[in-house]
Amino acid sequence: MIRYLAGRIATMLGTLAVISVLVFTIIQLPPGDYLSTTIAELRAEGETQAEEKVAFLRDLYGLDKPLPLQYLTWVSGFVQGDFGYSFEYGRPVAEVIGDRLFLTLILNFVTVLFIYLVSFPVGIYVAARRYGQVDYTLSFLGYLGLATPNFLLALILLYFANTLFGISVGGLMDPDYTGEAWTAGKMGSLAAHLVVPVVVIGISGTAAMIQRLRANLIDELQKPYIVTARAKGLGERRILFKYALRSALNPFISDIGDLLPQVVSGSVIVSAIMSLPTTGPMLLSSLRSQDMYLAGSFLMFLAVLTVVGMLVSDIALALIDPRIRIGRGTA
């Protein structure tokens, strides 16, 4: 188990290293940078004072040095918790993003939780009562859920909330709580505001998950060992939960590798539309204004979130499936 863990963590660090190079390259891609634009603007306005500050920043982050060196400065800062400087906000990135990372983490975590909590019982139910009415209805809804892009769903929900109830479903908590300490009231407000975005982001993932669990379970239920169990006189309930479900569970957990990137992508766009105080809207604006360190930090953070999530799912998988732990697995 320890060997497996060590290997898995090494792979993860390698992946993250490659991703960091990728992210750095991408944020360097746009021609020109924020500082030169700022200097040009300030000169046009006849200001000279700010140029010193710009020169200081340029020096601090080595913006006039060759790219590989800039990359090293950025990455080593990143590891130590210095995410660089947001040129647009004129403050260090760590200050600008503040609560956003935490709220993004919560949003994504709750969404994944929602997907599993809903698709697990529903998937088992439709597999056990195959071709029943619930099965057909859910399959149809599932197709619709997969075809409706989540940002459109967010728009529709916003529209109905606005016309039918006259409320706006934006934000993640009541405005009174922003900047306050975490109290029970703040948590409650957060939970209430999380419902809509979580459902919107999670719906397509849930549909896909139900379909997959249903297919896996139906495959298992047709295998000879199930027939044997039935012939021995085991109850249907026992066959389903003790026999078939255990084998069908494996892909269900390893699927998180496909699910997480999807959920994170979805949360970015849905947050942007519903203007949630997560990374989404700020990532967009920083990309538009070429605020490279801010954008880079968000991209890195989202990648870390996904990769670490996958690591956790792999560990969970290894815990329930000895074949993977010992290293002869074909998951």
Partner 1 sequence: MSEPLEHWVSTEPFDPGRTSARLSKPSTRYLEASQARLFWWRFKRHRLALVALVVLAIAYLTVIFAEFIAPYGVATRNTQHIFMPPQPIHLFHEGQFVGPFVYDMRGRLDLDTLQRHYTEDERRPRPLRFFCKGEPYRFWGLVEADLHLVCPPSLGTFFPLGTDRLGRDIASRLVHGARISLTVGLVGVAFSFALGLFFGGIAGYFGGATDYWIQRVTEILRSIPQLPLWLALSAALPVTLNPLLVYFGITIILALLDWPSLARAVRSKLFSLREEDFTAAAEMMGARPARIIARHLLPNFASHLIASASLSIPTMILAETALSFLGLGLRPPIVSWGVLLSEAQNIEAVALYPWLLMPMLPVMVTVLAFSFLGDGLRDAADPHG
Contacts to partner 1 by CB under 8 A: 14-15, 18-19, 22-23, 26-27, 29-31, 143-144, 146-149, 151-152, 155-156, 158-159, 162-163, 168, 257-258, 260-262, 264-266, 268-269, 272-273, 283-284, 287-288, 290, 295, 298-299, 302-303, 306-307, 310
Question: Whole-number minimum distance, CB 322 to partner 1, in Å?
Answer: 23
CA–chain centroid gap for 278, Å, is 11
What's the CA angle centered on 223, arms 326 and 325, to 5 degrees?
10
Nearest to 198 by CA among 115, 302, 99: 115
Query: Residue 34 corresponds to which tokens in the numbers above?
Result: 């924020």
Which amino acid, 42?
A: L
Inter-residue contact 223 to 269 (CB < 8 Å): no
Q: Which residues, listed in sequence order, are joined to residue 86 by a DSSP beta bridge?
A: 91
Question: Whole-number minimum distance, CB 95 to partner 1, in Å?
Answer: 22
What's the CA angle centered on 80, arms 297 and 70, to 5 degrees?
60
Smaller CB distance to partner 1: residue 172 or 283?
283
Smaller CB distance to partner 1: residue 127 or 295?
295
Query: Residue 260 corresponds to which tokens in the numbers above?
Result: 């997480």
Please state, as a whole number, how many other Cβ atoms lie within 10 Å of the Cβ of residue 30. Answer: 12
Question: Whole-number minimum distance, CB 160 to partner 1, in Å?
Answer: 10
Which amino acid, 229?
A: A
Question: Whole-number minimum distance, CB 236 to partner 1, in Å?
Answer: 28
Smaller CB distance to partner 1: residue 77 or 257?
257
Nearest to 24 by CA among 84, 98, 80: 84
Smaller CB distance to partner 1: residue 244 or 268?
268
CA-to-CA separations, 203 to 84, 96, 148, 197, 215, in angstroms, rounded: 36, 31, 9, 10, 18
Question: Whole-number minimum distance, CB 38 to partner 1, in Å?
Answer: 18
Question: Whole-number minimum distance, CB 47 to partner 1, in Å?
Answer: 26
What's the CA angle centered on 322, arms 212 and 324, to 5 degrees?
65
Smaller CB distance to partner 1: residue 190 or 310?
310
Smaller CB distance to partner 1: residue 75 or 234?
75
Smaller CB distance to partner 1: residue 170 or 186?
170
Residue with tokens 């924020």: 34
Question: Whole-number minimum distance, CB 29 to partner 1, in Å?
Answer: 4
Smaller CB distance to partner 1: residue 119 or 262?
262
Query: Residue 27 corresponds to which tokens in the numbers above?
Result: 């944020």
Question: Whole-number minimum distance, CB 40 to partner 1, in Å?
Answer: 16
